[in-house]
Every structure is written in C-alpha cells, then in structure tokens.
Structure 1
Amino acid sequence: MDDAVRLESLTKTYGSGDNAVSALRDVELSFPRGGFTAIMGPSGSGKSTLLQCAAGLDRPTSGRVFIDGQDISALNETQLTELRRASTGFIFQSFNLLPSLTAEQNVGLPMRLAGHKPPRGAVREALAQVGLEHKAGSRPSQLSGGQQQRVAIARALVTRPAVLFADEPTGALDLTTGRELLSTLRELAGPGEGDGQVTTTIVMVTHDPNVAAYADRVLFLADGGLVGELQRPTAEAVAARMTYLAVSS
C-alpha cells in the first residue's frame, strides 16, 4: 500500500436530532507515504476534526480510517493507544514541554509514560534530526521558542512514526522562527536516508498560505467536505483559492 493514511467515507457528526452538526461529510482521502500535505479551509470547515480523526485522536461517526495499512476503526481504546504510540506523532501549536526536564528528558518522556525505557541513542538521534543534539541538556527556559518547538518535533519523532500530524505548528512562533521550523519539516518529509530509517509522512493543518506553500500539496475543505487541491503550491495560489472559498461560502 502506498498510502500512509487513508480515509473512507469519513463522517463526523456532533449532537443529534435537530441539534446535529456535521463536521465532516463522507470524506474520501489518502495521504501518500513520504508526502507533505497541508490542510486548509475557512473557520468551521472541518480541518481540525479531519486531522484528529485521521490521527486516531477522535472517532468518526461513520466511515473508516487506515493508518500504515491498519484499519483503526475496529480497534478498542487500548489497541488504538498502542497504535498511536507506535505509528503516529503529533505536534501541537503549544510546545507542551515540562519545564523541569531537559530537552533529552522531554523527548524520551512519552516512552517512559508508556512503560518503556527510551534508548539513549534514539533520543539523541531524534534531537539530531531537528538540529538540537547540542541542546540535549538544556531546559525549556534556556531554549528559544523555535528550539522548543523543534524539541516537540523530536519528541514526536523518537518512536519513528509512520505519520507526523501537525496542528498549526508555527502558530506560536515569529515569522523567521516559523520559516526555520517549516524548513525542518520539509527536510523530514520523504523517505529516510540510510539503513533503518523510516519514511516520514507529514499531515499539517494551517490557516497561513505561506506555511502551506512548504507542502507538496494543499487540500481545501469547506462545510465538512473536500472541495479542491493544489499540487506544488505557491503562497499566491493558495491565497487566491482561500479568497475564492471565503467569497463563495
């Protein structure tokens, strides 16, 4: 299978009866291995719900989600948690680092919480992937905002996930730092180099055309459905499409 994530007839409805709100409507979508995909749409279009369902953080009302070839729709909560730990990583807008721990300890924390001792080499390798191996002993207060977000990326990468999900990862960063972070993500996407390296697939939600332009393609949502996509996007083309969606909605 060439898809890292596949969505089949994905529907998510909140509430019931007259109060029901459809966040996603029968979405059919796939994310190829090694691809870098940005998801955009007006407020309330369903992009964050799609990301959460695709990552296994929320269950759809109907339809199926496949991660790394496995149908997660039939998994119980314990099985789903184990699959997320093994196959996915998640980057949030907020860094969510523990201030009392070093960068190295923050990166290894999810593995410790799962009852596993993180291999020292794996933690150092994840920090090296984001250019912070020299900051392993630093605490968050000793790091810039961009460095903290890169530690958060290393934490998501330490288990070598098949898919890296990102929800507005540059939202808390200034323009220059955000560009540096996006360049890091751009370098991470694609097949791994060398023996034992995994293919990294990135799925990112953003509202910024300049951020979306770092991706291989941009998917556009409106009213809970897929309404278009751009391959090899430019910031200008993305902005024009978003303006069209705003006017037509």
Structure 2
Amino acid sequence: MVDHAIQLCSVSRRYGSGDSAVTALDQVSLCFPVGTFTAVMGPSGSGKSSLLQCAAGLDRPTSGSVTLGGVELTKLTETRLTLLRRERIGFVFQTFNLLPALTAEQNVALPLRLAGRRPSRAGVREALRQVGLGDRARHRPHEMSGGQQQRVALARALITRPAVLFADEPTGALDSCTSREVLGLLRGMVDRDGQTIVMVTHDPVAASHADRVVFLVDGRVNGELVAASADNIAARMTELEAVPC
C-alpha cells in the first residue's frame, strides 16, 4: 500500500454566497505519496493557491476532507490545527519572509522558539550547512543575496523536520541561475532525505524538477505528467491556456 503524506478527498472551496459565490476548488481528490516531489500548475485562476492553502491547513474546505499522516485536518480545532502546522508542515514562499533584524541562524531558529522549544545551536548550524550557508549564520538578510535569503527560508522551513514542505512559487523572485540552485536543493531533499514537497509554480522549468506535475483548470484536476521535460510541461500548459472559456 502506498504511504500518502497528504490526501484530499472531494475537496471543494467556495468563497462568498448566492449569485456572487466563486468556486475555487471543485471536488478535488488527490494523493501526495511520502518522499515525492509534486508540482501543481494551471492557468491563472485555476485554484492552485486554494489547493495549497487547503492542503496545508491554512484554509478550511467548504466540503470534503484533507488528511495529513492519518490526521483529518478538517476535524481539528483552530488551536490543534495551529500546533499541527508548526510541528508537521513547512512553508516556503516567493517572498522570503525573513525578519530583517535577525541573523540567519536566529531566523532559522524562530519556528522552534514559537513552538516553545529550545533550539539547538548545532542543529540550526547544520540546517544552514545543508542549504550551503554554513558560513552565513551571523549575517542578516540585507547582507545576503535573494538566493541566499531563500536558502535561509528553506532551512527555517525544515528545522522542525516537517512531514510535508509546501512551496508557493519559491523561485518566482530569483534569477534563472539561482532558481536552478534552489530547485536542486529541493530535489536533493526528496532524493536524499525522503522529504515530501508540494510546489505551486507557473514555471515549466521549475516543474520539471518534480516527480509529477498535476494540472488544474477551473478548480478541477485536469490530468498530470510524470517525469516530464520542461518542453512537454510548457506544451501542456499552452493547450490548457488555449481552451476557450
């Protein structure tokens, strides 16, 4: 039996009510196996961000269920859901969201402090070393490049050893060379450490680093590609964007 890190069963998310209601997700069922890298793509307004937010417990579905490691998120209280996110889910965003007054090691240690845990300095330094920043522990964000700041954000997301790492356009603010470095890090985390990663992206090159690419259109799953090249992914996106409304 395949071990799934995240399962979505008939998940719908609607915003508003009556005639003005908008359906962002429409009966989406997906599984994300442990130790795999999945990219989520689709045209603008297809529901990518809503999917990530519901899967990560940042937003509650209107209907359906989301299960993380056997725990159904939709049944948790807000307090329990917050604790679960802190302990079992990591987040990386396009904007690095580092605190400018803190050093790299202080930014990395922050999730542990917020969870009431005493961070190990050796553990924090090891997390930075794993993303290639062992010599930047005492530098503040303004003293680092965008790529280095995103690496700090990655180390911060991984310091709690999350079951799933969610990445929302993690290379959107980076140049192509730095993007490849960050994507190589993500790929290595899957291959070397068995990390589960779900990444929303609009970039076929970024998506080609994933094991599979899931496509959304109008809030519904519209197929997937496995071990696809950037050219094949781009061609599929062109087809989806050409479909008339």
TM-score by length of 2: 0.97
Counterparts of 1:87 and 1:217, CA distance in 2: 23
Residues 56, 80 of structure 1: 8 Å contact kept = yes
Residue matched to 1:195: none
Q: Give the drift of 1:98.
A: 1.1
Q: C-alpha separation between the residues in 2 aligned to 1:3 and 1:191?
A: 18
2:239: which partner in 1? 244
CA drift of 1:122 comes to: 2.2
1:90-239 equivalences under 5 Å are 90-190=91-191, 192=193, 199-239=194-234
Letter in 2 for 1:132: L
Counting matched residue pairs gives 243
Structure 1 residue 74 and structure 2 residue 75: aligned? yes
Letter in 2 for 1:117: R
Partner of 2:3: 2
Matches of 1:215 and 1:138 in 2, distance apart? 31
Given that 1:33 and 1:190 are in contact with CA atoms closer than 8 Å, whether structure 2 keeps it comes out as: no
1:196 equivalent in structure 2:
none
CA contact (8 A) 2:171 2:182 kept: yes
Aligned counterparts of 1:143 and 1:69: Cα–Cα separation in 2: 39
Structure 2 letter corresponding to 1:21: V
State how far apart, in whole Å, the 2-side matches of 1:33 and 1:177 are: 27
Q: What CA deviation, in whole Å up to 9, does each residue of 1:33-77 have, x standing for no partner?
A: 000000000000000100010000011001100112211110001
The separation in 1 between residues aligned to 2:115 and 2:162, in whole angstroms, is 15
Calculate percent identity across the aligned residue pairs: 63
| Matches of 2:189 and 2:148, distance apart in 1 | 16
After superposition, the CA RMSD in angstroms is 1.0
Shift of 1:110: 1.8
TM-score, structure 1 as length reference: 0.95
Separation in 2, partners of 1:49, 1:184? 25
Q: Which region of structure 1 is more displaced relative to structure 2, 126-135 or 208-217?
A: 126-135
Distance in 1, Cα, partners of 2:87 & 2:121: 18
8 Å CA contact retained: 2:11, 2:29:
yes
SS in 2 for 1:189: helix
How do 1:32-111 and structure 2 match up within 5 A? 32-111=33-112
Structure 1 residue 233: Cα displacement:
1.1
Equivalent residue letter for 1:151? V
* 1:199-234 residue CA offsets vs partner (Å, 9 max, x unmatched): 310000000111111101000000000001000010
* C-alpha separation in 2, matches of 1:9 and 1:190: 30
> Following the alignment from structure 1 to structure 2, what is the Cα–Cα distance between the partners of residues 240 and 218?
13
Unaligned runs of 5+ in 2: none
Which SS does the other structure have where 1:112 is aligned? helix
Contact 2:111 2:160 in 1 (8 A): no
CA-to-aligned-CA distance 1:81-116 (integer Å, 9 cap, x gap): 111111110001001111111100000112212222
Distance 2:160 2:23 in 1: 34
5+ residue gaps, structure 1: 193-198
Residue 191 of structure 1: how far off its partner (Å): 5.7
